[in-house]
């Protein structure tokens, strides 16, 4: 594993995830996802840390072996990871609900795939530039 690529890719990927998430969830889908009853304001630190975690997860996977340094391969691999993560999160988030909003689940998974496209592309590009 190339540690330098992992760290730089993780940081850049996390920042891209945070910014794209702000555009997608904070602006475009702001009214789509209702806040849970009794919820306070969003904890921006935890949102940022979650985005950084995703960036480092993708960067970790990409830096294994010879590394992913092709943008198309990065997008394809990140979409695969995000698809299964989105499904996993959706199933767990709905485990106590009596009625499941499948449309809302699909929108969330699609938004995750769009985010992953950006994160995967930028991490692959960083890896390609650092070779």
Residue 46: predicted pLDDT: 96
Residues 49-80 as b/e (b if ≥16 CB within 10 A, e otherwise) read eebbebbbbbbebbbeeebbbebeebbebbee
Given a cut of 90, whether residue 127 has pLDDT beyond it is: yes
Residue pLDDT, tens place only, 36-56 = 777 888 899 999 999 999 999
The whole model's pTM is what?
A: 0.91
What is the C-alpha to C-alpha distance for residues 19 and 131, in angstroms, rounded to an integer? 26
Residue 121: predicted pLDDT: 97
């Amino acid at each position: 594993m190339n540690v330098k690529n992992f760290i730089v890719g993780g940081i850049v990927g996390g920042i891209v995830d945070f910014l794209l998430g702000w555009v997608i969830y904070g602006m475009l889908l702001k009214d789509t996802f209702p806040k849970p009853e009794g919820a306070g304001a969003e904890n921006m630190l935890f949102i940022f840390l979650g985005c950084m975690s995703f960036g480092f997860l993708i960067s970790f996977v990409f830096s294994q072996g010879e590394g992913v340094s092709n943008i198309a391969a990065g997008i394809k691999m990140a979409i695969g990871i995000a698809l299964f993560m989105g499904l996993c999160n959706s199933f767990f988030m709905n485990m106590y609900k009596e009625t499941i909003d499948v449309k809302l689940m699909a929108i969330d998974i699609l938004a995750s795939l769009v985010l992953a496209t950006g994160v995967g592309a930028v991490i692959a590009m960083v890896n390609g530039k650092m070779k």
